[in-house]
Structure 1
Amino acid sequence: MNNWIEETFGVRKPIIAMCHLLPLPGDPYYDEEKGMKEVIAWARKDLLALQEGGVDAVMFSNEFSMPYLTKVHAITVASMARVIGEIMHEIKVPFGVNVLWDPEASLDLAAATGAAFVREIFSGVYASDFGLWNPNAGEAVRHRQMISARNVKLLFNIVPEAAKYLADRDVVEIARSTVFNHRPDGLCVSGLTAGTQTDVSVLQKVKEAVGDTPVFANTGVRLENVREQLRIADGAVVGTTFKVDGCFENHVDPTRVKVFMETVREFRKNL
């Protein structure tokens, strides 16, 4: 199953960089005065900074649509599609999408924009900051078939941020059963919140449990720990560490991206 990673990203152990979108129409903190032009301008600036820094892929996410919904409104998908469409001609790397936190909406957006992958909470039942979380992987996979998005890869986040699995199950057991029952294209292992380091011991246990299924470190990958994380993980999703001063709310800092990616490229030479 690892073959799809190199086919999609052109490298082993890819770095997927987050392109966080500002609040969108319908979101509580949307800036109606500046409007969608500001949202597009912000996304374009971050995209170009990430690509200039040499990342292997980007993932567009409505990260500032707080507080998140587990079933988004149509305006969110429409707005994200507009943003991606406006800057599509400047996207030079493979890209994915994540409509927080709605699997079917993420797939709809992927189908409409040509995204190569989606990351979502596809399975499990959780008590979360957003209420009871009860996605249905079977429905999501069938939805992918229905909208002709069969080639879109599914990255299952099995340790959701700001949520706890309701059943008393070890993460290794969850990973193993998720792979058996749902056949994900990859698993994402996270810390508690955005920017919180993924526990190395958890990564190791999950990787050992799921065999050939790719495992991504999903949060908290930084310059000082990226080698350690990539020794285990098959790739990483990076957001906060690429921001100015490492601050979640800021723009991407191309210098931070370049230094990080130089370290990653040096590491990959020895694979």
Structure 2
Amino acid sequence: MTRAEFYQLFGGGRAVIGVVHLLPLPGSPRYTGEFSSIVDRALRDARAYVEAGFNGLIVENFGDAPFYPDQVGPETVAAMAVVTYAVRAAVEVPVGVNVLRNDARAALAVATAAGGRFIRVNVHTGAMLTDQGILQGKAAETLRLRKMLS
């Protein structure tokens, strides 16, 4: 998304985007087996952000720590798609996706399946030393997948 497209999506100027931190998802070490509670919490948080005047939301698998550095499993993609779809259907603001720690391909897949409007990639270009090791941006792959999915 270009800067101009971002401004257009949020009506120009600056946007305040709330992060819907998901509880641990299936496949995560701390998953409790109660998927409905994940959806319920996400919807509660999303509605609270919108009622507080936030311009958009981003759904993130924050409860899945410790994170895979580059690629999550298909169970995470599936769960995030279900929750993101529910959030998007419940609110009237743009909803995006971030798949931690740095899985842009999964974020694009979730956003495409759930009707998300944008993604966040922690390291899109270059490299960063993190608690998961060295993360390397994969802009070439991400942009090609985005083009293919559009």
Counterpart in the other structure of 2:86: 86
Rounded Cα–Cα distance in structure 1 between residues aligned with 2:80 and 2:71? 15
Structure 2 residue identity aligned to 1:72: V
The answer on 1:3 being equivalent to 2:1 is: no
Report the AA paired with residue 131 of structure 2.
D
Superposition deviation, residue 11 in structure 1:
3.9
Contact 1:5 1:12 in 2 (8 A): no
How much has 1:67 moved relative to structure 2? 0.6
What residue is the counterpart of 2:146 in the other structure? 144
- The 3 A distance-change label for structure 1 pair 56 and 128 is same
In structure 2, the CA distance between the partners of 1:2 and 1:143, relative to structure 1 (3 Å rule), is closer
- Normalized against structure 2, the TM-score is what? 0.90
Report the RMSD for the aligned CA atoms in angstroms: 1.5
Cα distance, 1:132 vs structure 2: 2.6
Task: Map 1:10-159; keep pairs closer than 5 Å.
Answer: 10-32=11-33, 35-69=34-68, 70-100=70-100, 101-120=102-121, 121-148=123-150
Q: Distance in 1 between matches of 2:55 and 2:95?
A: 9
Aligned partners of 1:6 and 1:133: how far apart in 2? 28
SS, match of residue 120 in structure 2? strand
1 CA distance for matches of 2:72 and 2:89? 27
> Does the 8 Å CA contact 2:124/2:139 hold for their aligned counterparts?
yes
Q: How many residues align?
A: 146
Give the distance between the partners of 1:3 and 1:77, measured in 2 at CA. Answer: 29
Q: Residue type matched to 2:89 in 1?
A: H
SS in 2 for 1:144: helix
Whole-angstrom distance in 1 between the partners of 2:87 and 2:138: 32
TM-score (norm 1): 0.51
Percent of aligned pairs with the same amino acid: 34
Gaps of 5+ in 1: 149-271
Paired AA for residue 145 in structure 1: K
Deviation, 1:5, is: 3.1
8 Å CA contact retained: 2:20, 2:45:
yes
- Counterpart-to-counterpart distance in 2, 1:81 and 1:2: 25
